[in-house]
């Protein structure tokens, strides 16, 4: 399905620790241009944390992320500037701005009118504003929200809020779009529509990395699927391969099996968490993640 | 009047008849109140405003007269009288009730004040009895059934008529403001009566839906509205005949402007600045130091434009120095640091007297004798006769300050409605999401903070010349006399965060009330606190709500769609980010 294989995003050895808890452990992941890649795994597997590491919301404890060959700086606005946009699992729209304004905020990185030009309102400013609005309306058209442009985003129904998040993310003309559970809370029709939307986004040349629990959605959509369990990559492959892997099924159903990556960690993580909590209590503010991390590493 | 023209569907003829009856009674009561104002209410002119004349109304009677008339007119409108229906687009009953209550409250306040001030009901002339009874009759409106309805689209008027309406509204507004400013400062009664009357009347007009209609009109004719506002403001000093009134005017204008500058920081970007008054002080001290005052330690005399630039630049530098380290952090650090900065500024000014510090500011004595401004040979301290009216020093400074106000209004609306303004609001709404959308939170917040500081600094340069002296004690966190940071913040919150009108109205009220009600001054801070608690409880979006916030706090008043369908032709271009 992929036309070219140049990697858009590649993460290598990304590890994220919170105190004693290793939420993401040495994950490698590549997204090629023109690809839709799925990221699945049970709740708490570290998928959202991994997204946060990619987008600079968290600074990964170890590992690095490159976008089109350049290392991404761990600052969210620079990541977006570079061309990686995202949506949030728990919708984070600007609730009291209109739908159109939300998308216009998404245009921020692709426009550069500063305070002076806003105050002086020269022809350049007006042109840029008009162009931004035009592009924003295009995106609302694309996501089917054009007729709600003047509504406050908080008043949109849930499914449309998710779509608006996608429109807002697309406004930065990203080369890679990260979607965190884009169909959570949607009914089957809305899910179908979102599927079409993701295909359309891919067809416009934006690679997509999507977290989702809806397996039908994932297996329909994705060229490759990566499974994350207990912060670790369990398997990666085409939907067919992943679908038939017994470990994946077990991870979702929760049956323990020989050599499950989570097995020994469960105990370890619990112990470490307790220890970290304790450490935090008696050392107070000095009990920074680093010191507790060091301790758990000793215990390994 | 007895012919039933109301064709309220769904009501049985019986209740319809009863409602018409009640409305007629209300109208009659309004008229009775009006008539009473032409009679003498008391026998002595010791009561402020001299209510002893038969034949024409005076003093507080004017308020009863106006409210009585409005009550009658609204009652007739409620009876669906042809030609008056436009008065109550959102339903007449609530408006009528408030008008009736207003008439009653204002009139009874006056007659009770007469009895209390002069010692007993014996001081009531027959007119007072007529007023007391007459103004109670409209309370019949309280029994009316509610008929609140969604705002309908108004009939299109020719545009010249709509523009005339805007002009008329501003003229009326100027009259109302002048009435308040010109009330007798030695007696609290006239101003209290004024507050009661204006409060009820404003609430009634709001409930009638006429305020919403007006704001739709002003949004339609933005430039006409701006021009009308400007003309009204310029007309203000021409309509004053006492120096004390123009002094009130210029002070109100300065504090309103500073509050509007603060609204960029607080209302748009959502940054809590508790030391904003210090930036006003920075501007004022800078202007004083370069003013050529004999007490200034700098032996320079900048022309005013250079002083303004100096004040702006120094404030900007302080803004950046305070903001840069603090705004990198999330959370309430900014509030604490600005609070500290405000106090440090005052203490530093107090101690840079050559004894406990370098000799810069003369310490607690401040810098007096700031010479009057002179721009192009126009001396701001002298009286000038323009268009047959004499403008005194305060009036001159009022007009100068108005320039600053216009600049701040333009900055607020232009910056607010642009890429940077949207970024501010986005940061205020959800900082994480905003940074994930590519907004450099630190940079954008620093721009808002420094811009606010600069605008306050500019206002400070004018303020120094109006006061002719700057002393450290003016720049406290909280105090009985404005400006202080609490006053400014309260003006923003009371008036309405994120709007232009809000801080202007808030500052006007907060400045005027203690000036007019002397007994109130000792309790001013207490009253501030109570007023803020009440506002937070009952109208957290402030008196003048911003469209967004109104929705935020009153989820049930569904206004989610714009009140009128956007003109389909240019649907894209017309989202007005009011904040
Ligand atoms: N900021 C944080 N601090 C501490 N623990 C966190 C933080 N964010 C996530 N975690 C933990 O990391 C683990 C993975 O969470 P998450 O990435 O949200 O899982 P998923 O998205 O796969 O459901 C969870 O155990 C969660 O509690
Ligand atoms: Mg998640």
Instruction: Give the pLDDT score at B5.
Output: 44
d(CA A125, CA B97): 49
* CA A58 to centroid of ligand 1, rounded, Å: 11
User: Do A108 and B419 count as a contact with CB atoms less than 8 A apart?
Assistant: yes
Q: Supply A193's token pair.
A: 């529509």
Q: Computed from CA positions of residues B156, B158, B161, B163, in that sequence, does the dihedral angle turn out positive or negative?
A: positive
Q: Domain locations in chain A?
A: 7-91+175-295
- The CB of A20 under 6 Å from ligand 1? The reply is no
CB of A245 within 8 Å of a chain B CB? The answer is: no
What single string gives the DSSP state of each residue in B221-233?
Answer: THHHHHHHHHHHH
User: Do B560 and A86 count as a contact with CB atoms less than 8 A apart?
Assistant: no
Q: Is the peptide bond before B483 cis (omega within 30 degrees of 0)?
A: yes
d(CA B463, CA B479): 18
Of the two residues B239 and A130, the one the predictor is more confident about is A130
Are B75 and B141 spatial neighbours (Cβ–Cβ below 8 Å)? yes
B429 neighbourhood in chain A, CB within 8 Å: 94-97
Average pLDDT, chain B: 82
| Ligand with an atom nearest the CA of residue A24 | 1
**For residue B396, which of B231, B243, B229 has the smallest C-alpha distance?**
B243
| Atom in ligand 1 nearest the alpha carbon of residue A58 | 1
B571 neighbourhood in chain A, CB within 8 Å: 149-150
Q: Residue A115 is nearest to which of B437, B447, B577, comparing CB atoms? A: B447
| Ligand with an atom nearest the CA of residue A59 | 1
B433 neighbourhood in chain A, CB within 8 Å: 88, 92-94
Name the pairing type of β-strands A207-211 and A36-40: parallel
Residues 6+ apart with CB under 8 A from B394: B237, B243, B246, B247, B249, B250, B466
Q: Residue B437 is nearest to which of A114, A132, A172, comparing CB atoms? A: A172
Are B318 and B282 spatial neighbours (Cβ–Cβ below 8 Å)? yes
Three-state secondary structure call for residue A293:
helix
CB of B444 within 8 Å of a chain A CB? The answer is: no
d(CA B475, CA B295): 20
Q: Mean pLDDT check: name the lowest of A193-207, A277-291, B172-186.
A: A277-291
- The CB of A49 under 6 Å from ligand 1? The reply is yes
* CA A38 to centroid of ligand 2, rounded, Å: 13
Tell me, what DSSP letter sits at residue A120? H
| Atom in ligand 1 nearest the alpha carbon of residue A50 | 17
| Ligand with an atom nearest the CA of residue A292 | 1
- The CB of A3 under 6 Å from ligand 1? The reply is no
In the predicted structure, residue B304 carries a pLDDT above the cut 90: no
pLDDT in tens, A181-233: 999 888 899 999 999 999 999 999 999 999 998 888 999 999 999 999 999 99
Q: Supply B227's token pair.
A: 């021009």
d(CA B168, CA B185): 28
**Which of A24, A27, A48 maximizes ligand 1 atoms within 8 Å of its Cβ, making it the mutation to test the pocket?**
A48
What residue ranges define each of the domains in chain B, with the CATH number in brackets?
19-230 (no CATH), 243-373+386-543 (1.10.3470), 546-579 (no CATH)
Strand extents, DSSP E, B92-218: none
| Atom in ligand 1 nearest the alpha carbon of residue A211 | 21
Q: Mean pLDDT check: name the lowest of A165-179, B139-153, B392-406, B564-578.
A: B564-578
Q: Residue A172 is nearest to which of B438, B548, B558, comparing CB atoms? A: B438
User: Do A77 and B440 count as a contact with CB atoms less than 8 A apart?
Assistant: yes
pLDDT in tens, A17-43: 998 899 999 999 999 999 999 999 998
N-term to C-term CA, chain A: 42
| Ligand with an atom nearest the CA of residue A49 | 1
Three-state secondary structure call for residue A228:
strand
In the predicted structure, residue B434 carries a pLDDT above the cut 90: yes
Tell me, what DSSP letter sits at residue B537? H
Q: A7-91+175-295 falls under which CATH superfamily?
A: P-loop containing nucleotide triphosphate hydrolases (3.40.50.300)
What single string gives the DSSP state of each residue in B401-457?
Answer: HHHHHHHHHHHHHHHHTSHHHHHHHHHHH-HHHHHHTT--HHHHHHHHHHHHHHHHH
- The CB of A45 under 6 Å from ligand 1? The reply is yes
Protein residue closest via CA to atom 21 of ligand 1: A48
Interface TM-score (ipTM) > 0.85: no
Average pLDDT, chain A: 84
In the predicted structure, residue A95 carries a pLDDT above the cut 60: yes
User: Do B436 and A88 count as a contact with CB atoms less than 8 A apart?
Assistant: yes
Stated length of chain B? 579
Protein residue closest via CA to atom 9 of ligand 1: A49
- The CB of A43 under 6 Å from ligand 1? The reply is yes
Residues 6+ apart with CB under 8 A from B147: B8, B91, B92, B93
Instruction: Give the pLDDT score at B560.
Output: 37
C-alpha dihedral (B125, B61, B252, B407), degrees to nearest 10: 180
Q: B15, exposed or middle or buried, with CB in 10 Å at 0-12, 13-18, 19+?
A: exposed
B572 neighbourhood in chain A, CB within 8 Å: 100, 133-134, 137, 149
pLDDT in tens, B197-223: 999 999 888 888 888 888 888 888 888
A147 neighbourhood in chain B, CB within 8 Å: none
Task: Taking residues A145-161, report their average pLDDT.
Answer: 90
Instruction: Give the pLDDT score at B571.
Output: 31
CB of A57 within 8 Å of a chain B CB? The answer is: yes
């Amino acid at each position: 399905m992929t036309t070219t294989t140049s990697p858009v995003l590649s993460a290598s050895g990304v590890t994220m620790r919170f105190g004693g808890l290793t939420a993401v452990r040495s994950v490698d992941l590549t997204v090629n241009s023109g690809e839709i890649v799925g990221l699945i795994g049970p709740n708490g597997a570290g998928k959202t944390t991994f997204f946060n590491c990619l987008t600079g919301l968290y600074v990964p404890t170890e590992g690095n992320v490159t976008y089109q060959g350049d290392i991404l700086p761990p600052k969210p606005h620079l990541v977006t500037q570079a061309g990686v946009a995202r949506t949030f699992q728990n919708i984070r729209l600007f609730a009291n701005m209109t739908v159109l304004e939300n998308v216009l905020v998404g245009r921020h990185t692709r426009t550069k009118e500063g305070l002076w030009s806003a105050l002086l309102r020269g022809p350049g400013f007006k042109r840029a504003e008009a162009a931004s609005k035009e592009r924003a309306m295009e995106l609302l058209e694309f996501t089917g929200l054009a007729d709600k442009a003047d509504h406050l985003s908080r008043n949109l129904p849930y499914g449309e809020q998710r779509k608006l998040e996608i429109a807002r993310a697309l406004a930065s003309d990203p080369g890679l779009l990260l979607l965190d559970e884009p169909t959570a809370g949607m009914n089957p029709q809305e899910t179908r529509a979102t599927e079409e939307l993701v295909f359309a986004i891919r067809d416009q040349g934006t690679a997509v990395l999507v977290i989702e629990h809806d397996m039908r959605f994932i297996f329909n959509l994705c060229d490759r699927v990566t499974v994350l369990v207990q912060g670790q990559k369990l398997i990666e492959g085409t939907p067919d391969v992943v679908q038939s892997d017994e470990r994946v099924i077990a991870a979702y159903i929760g049956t323990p099996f020989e050599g499950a990556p989570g097995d020994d960690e469960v105990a370890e993580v619990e112990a470490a968490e307790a220890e970290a909590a304790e450490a935090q209590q008696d050392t107070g503010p000095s009990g920074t993640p680093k010191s507790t991390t060091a301790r758990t590493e000793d215990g390994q | 009047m007895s012919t039933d023209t109301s064709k309220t569907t769904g009501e049985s003829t019986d209740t319809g008849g009863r409602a018409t009856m009640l409305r007629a009674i209300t109208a009659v009561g309004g008229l009775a109140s009006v008539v009473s104002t032409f009679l003498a209410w008391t026998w002595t002119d010791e009561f402020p405003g001299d209510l002893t004349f038969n034949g024409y109304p005076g003093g507080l009677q004017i308020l009863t007269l106006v409210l009585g008339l409005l009550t009658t007119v609204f009652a007739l409108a409620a009876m669906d009288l042809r030609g008056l229906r436009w008065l109550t687009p959102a339903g007449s009953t609530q408006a009528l009730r408030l008008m009736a209550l207003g008439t009653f409250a204002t009139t009874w306040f006056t007659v009770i004040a007469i009895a209390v001030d002069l010692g007993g009901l014996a001081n009531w002339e027959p007119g007072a009895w007529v007023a007391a009874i007459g103004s109670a009759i409209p309370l019949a409106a309280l029994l009316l059934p509610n008929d609140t309805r969604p705002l309908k689209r108004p009939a299109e008027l020719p545009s010249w008529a709509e523009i005339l309406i805007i002009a008329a509204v501003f003229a009326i507004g100027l009259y109302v403001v002048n009435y308040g400013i010109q009330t007798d400062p030695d007696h609290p009664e006239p101003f209290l009566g004024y507050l009661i009357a204006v409060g009820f009347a404003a609430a009634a007009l709001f409930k009638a839906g006429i305020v919403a209609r007006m704001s739709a009109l002003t949004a339609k004719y933005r430039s006409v509205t701006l021009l009308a506002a400007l003309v009204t403001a310029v007309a203000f000093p021409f309509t004053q005949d006492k120096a004390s009134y123009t002094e009130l005017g210029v002070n109100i204008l300065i504090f309103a402007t500073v509050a509007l500058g603060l609204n960029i920081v607080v209302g748009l970007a959502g940054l809590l600045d508790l030391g904003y008054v210090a930036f006003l002080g920075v501007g004022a001290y800078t202007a004083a130091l370069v003013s050529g005052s004999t007490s200034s330690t700098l032996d320079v005399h900048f022309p005013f434009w250079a002083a303004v630039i100096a004040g702006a630049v120094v404030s900007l530098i302080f803004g950046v120095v305070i903001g840069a380290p603090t705004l990198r952090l999330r959370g309430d650090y900014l509030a604490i640091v600005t609070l500290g900065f405000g106090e440090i500024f005052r203490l530093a000014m107090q101690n840079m007297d050559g004894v406990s510090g370098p000799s810069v500011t003369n310490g607690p004595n401040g810098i007096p004798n700031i010479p009057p401004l002179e721009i192009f040979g126009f001396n701001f301290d002298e009286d000038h006769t323009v268009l047959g009216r004499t403008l005194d020093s305060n009036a001159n400074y009022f007009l100068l300050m108005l320039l600053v106000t216009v600049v701040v209004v333009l900055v607020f609306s232009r910056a607010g409605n642009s890429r940077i303004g949207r970024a501010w609001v986005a940061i205020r709404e959800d900082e994480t999401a905003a940074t994930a959308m590519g907004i450099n939170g630190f940079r954008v917040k620093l721009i808002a903070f420094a811009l606010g500081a600069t605008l306050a600094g500019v206002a400070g340069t004018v303020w120094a010349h109006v006061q002719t002296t700057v002393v450290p004690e003016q720049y406290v966190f909280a105090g009985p006399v404005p400006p202080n940071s609490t006053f400014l913040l309260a003006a923003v919150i009371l008036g309405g965060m994120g709007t232009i009108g809000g801080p202007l109205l808030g500052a006007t009220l907060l400045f005027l009330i203690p000036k007019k009600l002397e007994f109130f001054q000792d309790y001013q801070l207490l009253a501030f606190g109570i007023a803020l608690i009440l506002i937070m409880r009952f109208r957290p979006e402030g008196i003048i709500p911003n469209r967004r916030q109104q929705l935020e706090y009153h989820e049930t008043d569904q206004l989610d769609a714009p009140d009128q369908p956007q003109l389909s032709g240019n649907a894209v271009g017309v989202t007005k980010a009011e904040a």
